[in-house]
Amino acid sequence: MSDSTTLEDGRPAPPAFQTAPRAFIKSFGCQMNVYDSQRMADLAALEGFEEAVGVEDADLIVLNTCHIRERASEKIYSELGKLRELKNERRKAGRRTTLVVAGCLAQAEGAEILRRQPAVDVVVGPQSYHRLPELLRKAEVRSGVIDTDFPVEDKFSRLPASQPETTARRGVAAFVTVQEGCDKFCSFCVVPYTRGAEASRPVAAVLAEIGRLTGAGVRDVTLIGQNVNAYHGLDHAGRTTSFAGLIAAAAAVPGVRRLRYATSHPNEMSDDLIAAHRDVETLAPYLHLPVQSGSDRILASMNRRHRVGDYLDIIARARAARPDIAFSSDFIVGYPGEADDDFEETLDLVRTVGYASSFAFKYSARPGTPAAEMDGQVDEAVKLARLARLQALLEEQRHVFNGACVGRRLEVLFEKPGRHEGQVVGRSPYMQSVYAEGPLSFVGVLAEVEIIGVGPNSLRGRIVSRTS
Ligand code: 5AD
Ligand code: SF4
């Protein structure tokens, strides 16, 4: 459905005549960036910017970047090259464009970004983006403003709350950052350098944000953090609260019908968190628990500080707590020193667990991380061959899992109209897209759905009854 001010997908349509300045924020990488991009959009709205449809109608363009693998960074530089041309063309026509690079690439490369791409006006890191309004003002009088501080002030308390109508437009599922940063220092990973040390938001701040979201119609809340289960925020009495404690409190917020969390570290899968999977009904039976490798030798070299057996033990305990739980994971192939045998052990682990869905990556040497300096860097062709084999196995498992859902009844939260008239689409507890015949009034509704078919990337279902 669209009217004169909204496009079919619900985004605002560009105006016939440019009135207020418009901002376009493009997110790369992980869920943390999606959340940060929304908060930057809230900041821009407070500064008088309307939401742009794309770069074409935007006066302010923010790329919220990722630095996790080399390819992520290169993609940004090529995008910046195109934006420089756009900016130059507009300048000739007397129109100003402000270009901001935010996120982890900004944090990691700072001034190097301005050197490689002088068209950039502002470089701002993930811990200081609440200062974006003042940085934009500085950029009006001088070029190349950089802020990659790790400020002492609490970023979250300085960010404006999203407007209820903005939240409603963003949909019925939302992310809430509860924890940021990482102290684990896995040998391959840039996150501890770009996002800094682990820090948790206070319980009350998290609950207030969830309450605002559900008040605007959100029903599915994902608590996010680089190491979300290391959460240790303070409650109103100044006591440290565990992640399981936060889950129990979040589940009690009126309107929360489904809770999820990502991303977890195996070493923080405490007994109380596993018990939450048994006790908290709204906690989805789906756990993203990255293992990275199935070889103890490689896990040790990665500084993961857990062994394959520890991981399998967690899987078994989670299954005992919640028999219908399904798992996903991240894997890295071609880590320095990974021999054929190590890789075979990864395949064995995948076969043992049986994943619903997973991500596999080729190891990418990141400057400044210990693994980048290690001997035994693996040949690109070997990496590619291993990636193809692992991805084929994970794909096969995904199909098996989806196929096994046929005939089951799953609770689906409908999120938007489907591709065809009279159809709605939503998500199962396992994050599968589920299409069903049903009226638009089902958007935002949870329903019991019988799964009747499976496609390459989605399931088909028949609505049995509303559950909300
Ligand atoms: N090379 C390849 N993959 C990486 N990841 C993190 N760092 C690297 C790297 N240097 C993967 C891990 C992590 C996911 C978010 O990205 O699997 O869990
Ligand atoms: Fe990176 Fe390891 Fe921290 Fe995850 S736990 S963010 S992989 S250092």
Select from 197, 186, 88 the least CA-distant residue to 150: 197
Please report the pLDDT score of residue 468 as a whole number. 77
* Pocket lining: 288 vs ligand 2, CB cutoff 6 Å: no
pLDDT digits (tens, 9 = 90+) for 145-182: 999 999 878 899 999 999 999 999 999 999 999 999 99
User: Model pTM?
Assistant: 0.93
Best mutation site among 28, 67, 68 for ligand 1 pocket (most ligand atoms within 8 Å of CB): 68
Structure tokens at 433: 């897209």
Q: How far is the CA of 84 from the centre of ligand 2 (A)?
A: 34
CA 49 from chain centre, in angstroms, equals: 25
* Pocket lining: 227 vs ligand 2, CB cutoff 6 Å: yes
Question: In degrees to the nearest 10, what's the CA dihedral of 306, 34, 272, 197?
Answer: 60
Q: How far is CA 16 from CA 3, 60, 92, in A?
A: 14, 19, 22
Please report the pLDDT score of residue 73 as a whole number. 85
53 within 8 A of 91, measured Cβ to Cβ:
no
Backbone angles phi, psi at 110, to 5 degrees: 40, -115
- Among protein residues, the one whose CA lies closest to atom 16 of ligand 1: 68
What gap in Å lies between CA 241 and CA 234, rounded to an integer? 6
What gap in Å lies between CA 412 and CA 146, rounded to an integer? 45
* Cβ contacts of 447 within 8 Å, gap of 6 or more: 411, 412, 414, 436, 438, 463, 464, 465, 466, 467, 468
What gap in Å lies between CA 257 and CA 19, rounded to an integer? 40
* Cβ contacts of 176 within 8 Å, gap of 6 or more: 35, 206, 209, 210, 213, 221, 222, 223, 224
* Pocket lining: 334 vs ligand 1, CB cutoff 6 Å: no
Ligand 2 atom showing the smallest separation from residue 182 Cα: 3
Please report the pLDDT score of residue 152 as a whole number. 79
Q: How far is the CA of 51 from the centre of ligand 2 (A)?
A: 33
Q: How far is the CA of 187 from the centre of ligand 2 (A)?
A: 9
Structure tokens at 456: 């390459």
* Pocket lining: 177 vs ligand 1, CB cutoff 6 Å: no
Please report the pLDDT score of residue 1 as a whole number. 39
Q: Within the chain, which residues score under 70 in pLDDT?
A: 1-18
Q: How far is the CA of 29 from the centre of ligand 2 (A)?
A: 15
Please report the pLDDT score of residue 32 as a whole number. 96
| Cis upstream peptide for 263 (omega within 30°) | yes
What gap in Å lies between CA 246 and CA 206, rounded to an integer? 9
